[in-house]
Amino acid sequence: MLWHQTALKGICTLIQDYVEKAINKILGTKEIAFNIPPKREFGDFSTAVCLSQAKVQKRAPLQIAEDLKTELEKVKLPYVSEISVTPPGYLNFKIDHPSYVKSIIDRVNKEGDKFGNTNVGRGRKVLIEHTNVNPNKAMHIGHLRNAIIGDSVVRMMRKLGYHVEACNYIDDTGAQVADVVVAMLYMDAPVYDGKSTDLSAMWAKYDGSQPFDYWCWDVYSRIAQAYDSDAALKAKRAEVLHAVEAQDSAVAGFAKEVATRIVHAHLATVARLNVYYDLLNWESDIFLRGFWRTAFEKLKAAGAIVFEIEGPNKGCWVVRFGRGVFKTDEGLKSEDKVLVRSNGTVTYTGKDIAYQMWKFGVLGVDFLYKLWEVQANGDYLWTTSPSGEDANSFGNADRVINVIDVRQSYTQHIVYDCLKKLGFKKEAKNSIHLDYEVVVLSNSAAAELGVAVDAEESGNQAMSGRKGVGVKGDDLLNTLVKRLSEKVNKEENANHLAAAAIRYFMSRFSTGKIIVFDFDEALRTTGDTGVYCEYAHARACSILTKAVKTGVSSLKAQKTGVQMPENITIPEENLIKKIAELSNVLKRAGQELSPAPLAHYAFELATVFTDFYETPDPDAEKQVPFIKIEDPILRNYRLALVNTFRQTIANCLDSIGIVPLERI
RNA sequence: GCACCUGUAGCUCAGUGGAUUAGAGCAUCUGACUUCGGAUCAGAGGGUCGGGGGUUCGAGUCCCUCCAGGUGCGCCA
């Protein structure tokens, strides 16, 4: 998962870069870790490099530290005002605060919405595929987690300088879509005659009283249950699946139309969360363009797959994997992976190998493309299409990140391993499965949805499309919008705020943690939430606006020619140090491929700002509001800090897809 | 059986080998608005970092082992 080799550094990046270089020169060490001393008197940051050097040099760490201090004092280190040594051998640095603070303010103002960005990814293309929801029902909150993680990674990688292509894979020829088609054609009267090309009577079953994806949600769970008691209906399933794969009948056209309508619904749902894509990749186009045939020939030529003439996989093309064939109590079992079934059809994994090759541009076959729509953010969304045209701009990635839940780890591993077997070692290495844990329902959430909960069982319930158990994404958004709309100045802001709350909620958790969804926790608007972060941003905007309106400041004064006061207070210092962290947090989030560090940072930044706002002068008996400060230098400096904070948290929120609101 | 993930306060979670005293939020309790936005802030109580070994100057963090929970290991997708 970790694939930047950038060194992690501590708080005061700018300065530490210089200090690190200076120490490297003196000691000849490679990487130096900085940290924050427990006591403010020790300094602003420190390093324990002398402790680890003690062994190498076979000298007392305290002595090394003293010598290093003497050497460093000969070098002019920018912003460093004092170096000290504390037992057992820490080297502490104090910063010249006024000049440091000014440099950060100037830098944020100069870089604006680019502040925090780096170009570590320059010249490299990353294809990130996420969402990938079966187009046969409404999205639930588990799907939302995928889209939110995926879109956040897209955003942060762009800020790290990568050329990013965001793809959403549409499995329109799979069993799930087929199930809904079977239901619409055969479950309720009128029943399809199996031949007619006019299917309008089937479409008429959907009465439009609720959104189409909601309607399909119920239809899908009904057919899943109906299969158990109706063998005739279940027989239709194989028939429809076959027709859909063949792509040449009225039924196939019907399925494509169902999938298309659902895709529109899904895109509308995620757009509410500020999630957008560059390309929709349709599974039907993978079949139509013959991706598998091409990959199959390459696999055979490379000797990566074998045709079994005996054993449990007799008649199949398989890739040798794991322990191969082995004996168990139940007889012969195989860990080899079947790519072509004995009936000649290709498995999902087989098709996925071909698709993964396309992503790297090593398949030798391409899709046809056309414009799908212009998205709400103004960006073009393209789609693969049988009626499209050639394009050279898609795929051909240096790295591929597939956002898929952790349960698919085994299959993903096989796909990447097959790439290696084909000789695509570099591509295999650059294939990343961004695996995340699932979202389950707490017992109380399940009970609220009317699911029968066994109190004796474990404290949560898995969501299930087949059973119709789950919280729909749009329902969660709607509930939140309703709760928030009483206190916002316009309806649009309630939507943004709800999206912020949900994106923050989903981003707080490490990707490896199961989210046990609980309504109270997800709908909370106080404390550690996206609403708190939005509130801090809106408050900062409000202060700046008011300062301009009351004539005590101008937009220009808040940004340029800021003069420093003689002393920097502790809340001011804490704020500026936190602001300076953004680019490191972005790098770390990029390394971990997770929005979690950025979400936590946004909250910390908002907290530090609130502290600065509440108590800018800790020693004073009474706090004076910034806009009422008499001293023009101090007033303008404080307002400049507010503006610097506003820009920084806006950039941070943007990196996890939260729209910063100027007013709530 | 094999592989992977998780285990930190009553609950939900942070924690990048680094410092006396392991941090937030929620919940509970006590306080604070005539001011720039109270969706806020100040304070209190609450911990065998699952157990045990090891490496290290230093371990919640790395290694081993055990325990508990979860997920994979289809000619499903």
Secondary structure (3-state) at A96: coil
B5 C1' to A409 CA distance, Å: 11
Contacts (Cβ under 8 Å, ≥6 apart) of A54: A60, A61, A64, A89
| Of residues A322, A314, A313, A319, the one with CA closest to residue A299 | A319
How far is Cα A19 from Cα A255, in angstroms, rounded to an integer? 63
B38 C1' to A277 CA distance, Å: 39
The pLDDT, as a whole number, for residue A6 is: 27
Which region holds residue A29: left if phi is over 0, alpha if psi is between -120 and 50, else beta?
Answer: beta
The pLDDT, as a whole number, for residue A100 is: 87
The pLDDT, as a whole number, for residue A336 is: 85
Residues in chain A: 664
User: What's the pLDDT band for A74 if we cut at 50, 70, 90?
Assistant: confident
Pairing of strands A460-462, A399-405: unpaired
Domains and CATH numbers, chain A: 2-95 (3.30.1360.70), 102-122+527-655 (1.10.730.10), 290-347 (no CATH)
B41 C1' to A370 CA distance, Å: 55
Assess whether A67 (CB) lies less than 7 A from strand B: no
B12 C1' to A188 CA distance, Å: 45
**Is residue A653 a contact partner of residue A660, using CB atoms and an 8 Å limit?**
yes
Chain A residues 74-113 within 7 Å (CB) of strand B: 86, 88, 90, 92
The pLDDT, as a whole number, for residue A528 is: 95
Instruction: Please determine, for residue A150, whether its predicted confidence score (pLDDT) is greater than 90.
Output: yes
Assess whether A485 (CB) lies less than 7 A from strand B: no
B39 C1' to A513 CA distance, Å: 28
> In chain A, how many H helices and how many E strands?
25, 19
Q: What angle do CA A434, A438, A443 make, to 5 degrees?
A: 165
Neighbours of A373 (CB within 10 A): 13
**Is residue A416 a contact partner of residue A355, using CB atoms and an 8 Å limit?**
no
B75 nearest neighbour residue (CA to C1'): A341
| Of residues A559, A564, A658, the one with CA closest to residue A605 | A658
B11 nearest neighbour residue (CA to C1'): A521
Which tens digit of pLDDT belongs to each residue from A314-336? Answer: 999 998 876 666 655 555 667 78
User: What's the pLDDT band for A154 if we cut at 50, 70, 90?
Assistant: very high
Helix (H) or strand (E) holding A35, with range, is strand A34-35
Which tens digit of pLDDT belongs to each residue from A180-205? Answer: 999 999 998 899 998 899 999 999 99
Which tens digit of pLDDT belongs to each residue from A502-525? Answer: 999 999 999 999 999 999 999 999
Q: How deeply is A267 buried, as exposed, middle or buried, from its count of CB atoms within 10 A (0-12, 13-18, 19+)?
A: buried
The pLDDT, as a whole number, for residue A458 is: 55
| Of residues A400, A409, A470, the one with CA closest to residue A435 | A409
Take residue A619 and report the two structure tokens written for it.
């020693």
B40 C1' to A532 CA distance, Å: 10
User: What's the pLDDT band for A3 if we cut at 50, 70, 90?
Assistant: very low
Which tens digit of pLDDT belongs to each residue from A54-71? Answer: 777 777 788 888 888 888
Q: What is the mean pLDDT of residues A259-288?
A: 97
| Of residues A82, A114, A92, the one with CA closest to residue A36 | A92
How far is Cα A220 from Cα A218, in angstroms, rounded to an integer? 5
Chain A residues 238-297 within 7 Å (CB) of strand B: none
How far is Cα A247 from Cα A255, in angstroms, rounded to an integer? 9
Provide the ipTM.
0.95
Residue linked to tokens 């972005």? A586
How far is Cα A501 from Cα A485, in angstroms, rounded to an integer? 13
Comparison of pLDDT for A64 and A128, the residue scoring more: A128
B60 C1' to A332 CA distance, Å: 45
B41 nearest neighbour residue (CA to C1'): A614
Take residue A549 and report the two structure tokens written for it.
């309106």
Q: What is the mean pLDDT of residues A567-588?
A: 92
Mean pLDDT of all residues belonging to chain A: 90
User: Letter for the amino acid at A639?
Assistant: L
Chain A residues 612-631 within 7 Å (CB) of strand B: 613-616, 622-628
Which tens digit of pLDDT belongs to each residue from A443-460? Answer: 889 888 888 765 555 568
Which tens digit of pLDDT belongs to each residue from A207-258? Answer: 999 999 999 999 999 999 999 889 889 999 989 998 988 888 999 999 999 9
Chain A residues 510-549 within 7 Å (CB) of strand B: 510, 512-516, 521, 524-529, 531-532, 535, 538-539, 542-543, 546
Query: Chain B bases under 7 Å from protein CB?
Result: 4-7, 12-20, 24-27, 35-42, 56-58, 69-77
| Of residues A9, A11, A8, the one with CA closest to residue A608 | A11
Q: What are φ and ψ of residue A130, in 5° steps?
A: -150, 180
Instruction: Please determine, for residue A4, whether its predicted confidence score (pLDDT) is greater than 60.
Output: no
Task: Compute the radius of gyration of chain A from its Cα atoms.
Answer: 29
Which tens digit of pLDDT belongs to each residue from A461-491? Answer: 899 988 899 999 999 999 999 999 988 888 8
Question: Which nucleotide's C1' atom has the smallest distance to the CA of A459?
Answer: B69
* pLDDT-wise least confident of A11-20, A503-512, A591-600, A648-657: A11-20
How far is Cα A431 from Cα A629, in angstroms, rounded to an integer? 56
Q: What is the mean pLDDT of residues A598-611?
A: 96
Assess whether A507 (CB) lies less than 7 A from strand B: no
The pLDDT, as a whole number, for residue A539 is: 96
Assess whether A324 (CB) lies less than 7 A from strand B: no
**What's the predicted TM-score (pTM) here?**
0.94
Instruction: Please determine, for residue A141, whether its predicted confidence score (pLDDT) is greater than 60.
Output: yes
Secondary structure (3-state) at A286: helix
Query: CA distances (Å), A139 to each of A24, A149, A424, A477, in order?
Result: 53, 15, 35, 12
**Is residue A383 a contact partner of residue A372, using CB atoms and an 8 Å limit?**
yes
B72 C1' to A230 CA distance, Å: 31
Chain A residues 353-382 within 7 Å (CB) of strand B: none
Instruction: Please determine, for residue A593, whether its predicted confidence score (pLDDT) is greater than 70.
Output: yes
- Starting at the earlier edge strand, list the strands of the sheet with A399-405: A369-374, A380-384, A279-282, A163-170, A125-129, A399-405, A431-436
Comparison of pLDDT for A195 and A595, the residue scoring more: A595
User: What's the pLDDT band for A14 if we cut at 50, 70, 90?
Assistant: low
The pLDDT, as a whole number, for residue A454 is: 59
The pLDDT, as a whole number, for residue A457 is: 55
